Amino acid sequence: MKVFQLQDFPLNGKKVFVRTNYDVIVKNNKVVDETKILASIPTLKFLLAKQCTVIIGTHLGRPAGKVKDEFRLKPIVETLKSLLPRTKINYVQDCLGEEVKKTVNNAKQGEIVFLENLRFYKEEKENDPAFAHALANLVDVCVNEAFSNSHRKHASMNAITKFIPSIAGLHLQKELNQLQKAVDPKKPSVWLLGGAKLDKVQLIEQALQKADLILIGGALAFPFFKAQGIKVGMSKVDARSVETAEKILKNKKSKKIILPLDFVTTKKFTAKATSKIKHYDEFSKEDIGLDLGPSTIELFEKHLKTAKTIVWNGPLGYFEWVKFSNATKEIGRFLGKLPATVICGGGETSTAIHKFHLEHKLTHVSTGGGASVQLLSGNKLPGIVALEKNYKKFRKEIH
């Protein structure tokens, strides 16, 4: 994969549009989790050290192409100011127009101009060339530092690359390099898959190709049991998922799949409901499986110990409730002690990892959510493809 990289690009004193993904949770006008913002800081510091004028474009929520005050970016701007206290940050409440042009032109080298929510314009999600061209006209070059949004074909990451040189940000480079270790793993490779939905058909198909073993936990396991005629009580499962599981089990490589031995079950879907450990084939009609049992944790850890590369996608139980969080927490801690390369992807996985303070114990925790799942599933990301095409288009001009 050939793309422009920050380290190799002549950037001194240039105006640089940096597309970030600061789509974070905001409560009472304060950012709850700074993870996505922190991921962009090395790139911003790199550019500021080169005396660039940095223009930040990002989105928040789904305002559907309309200006909505609850999706304004002021809380995020305030957070960024606290993270870069020595840098002047000019917040302008629009993305385009005369005020934006004036602010960008008046900004000094080493300063930041923070644009308003790009999704206030419907043209952003429509990948509109005119909207992208207007953004491109503000700057000299563009940096994609929004890996977690690169599975979407939006104007500020795709159409813009047709007009100006576009570069991979430092965190985006790191994401691609680390996730490549999962796609092209050191053997043996074990994939640990969980979550609540069997909508990861491509991911499981990729796992069948890449992994030596696939450990399936969480509610993801129930369609596989039901597909074999094993009762799962009131556990979360739908007919479509069972059909998908049946197809997967017909694959010759499905012998790589290892399912749970036991579950923590309850008869009421509440945080403090009475629970009981049951073997996978002992479910009554009322039972709901909400976590993996101790025998399964022991089995999974035995297999994980043999791996050189581990890919983890999806929590292993209903981790939001303490009573049903044990498998996710304990196996997560176990992974943190292994010498193997441990690559974690998916939004819920990341949430669980941060909840149990495991992020610094694992090789890589992707900020990607859907983007990391798409990449692990063997799909190309539109935002990355756009960078590759941009490199081919502009490389002779630059070099």
Strand partners, 5: 168
Say if pTM beats, i.e. exceeds, 0.85.
yes
Q: How confident is the model at residue 171 (pLDDT cuts 50, 70, 90)?
A: very high
pLDDT of residue 399: 63
For 83, phi then psi, to 5°, come to -85, -25
Q: How confident is the model at residue 198 (pLDDT cuts 50, 70, 90)?
A: low
Considering the chain, what is the average pLDDT of its residues?
95
Per DSSP bridges, beta strands 53-57 and 30-31 are unpaired
Q: How confident is the model at residue 94 (pLDDT cuts 50, 70, 90)?
A: very high
Token pair in block for residue 372: 């990391």
In the Cβ-directed half-sphere of 366, how many Cα atoms lie within 13 Å? 36
In the Cβ-directed half-sphere of 224, how many Cα atoms lie within 13 Å? 27
User: Is the predicted pLDDT of residue 186 greater than 80, yes or no?
Assistant: yes
Q: Is the dihedral of CA 366, 297, 306, 379 positive or negative?
A: negative
Token pair in block for residue 134: 């207007």
Q: Helix, strand, coil: what percent of the chain each, to 5?
A: 45, 15, 40
Percent residues over pLDDT 70 in the chain: 99
Q: How confident is the model at residue 8 (pLDDT cuts 50, 70, 90)?
A: confident
Query: 186 or 399: which carries more pLDDT confidence?
Result: 186
Percent residues over pLDDT 90 in the chain: 86
Strand residues in the chain grouped as ranges (E): 4-5, 15-20, 26-27, 30-31, 53-57, 89-91, 112-114, 141-145, 166-168, 189-193, 213-216, 257-258, 262-266, 275-279, 288-292, 309-313, 341-344, 364-365
Domains, the chain, with CATH or none: 4-168+380-398 (3.40.50.1260), 177-368 (3.40.50.1260)
User: Is the predicted pLDDT of residue 206 greater than 80, yes or no?
Assistant: yes
pLDDT of residue 396: 84
Token pair in block for residue 140: 């000299």
CA distance 311 to 192: 6
pLDDT tens figures, 209-232:
999 999 999 999 999 999 999 999
Query: 259 or 183: which carries more pLDDT confidence?
Result: 259
> Could you identify the residue written with the tokens 């644009």?
115
3-state secondary structure of 306: coil
Give the residue-averaged pLDDT of 325-354: 94
User: Is the predicted pLDDT of residue 96 greater than 70, yes or no?
Assistant: yes
User: Is the predicted pLDDT of residue 394 greater than 90, yes or no?
Assistant: yes
User: Is the predicted pLDDT of residue 81 greater than 80, yes or no?
Assistant: yes
CA distance 189 to 174: 21
pLDDT of residue 65: 96
pLDDT of residue 31: 95
Nearest to residue 366, comparing CAs of 347, 380, 338?
347
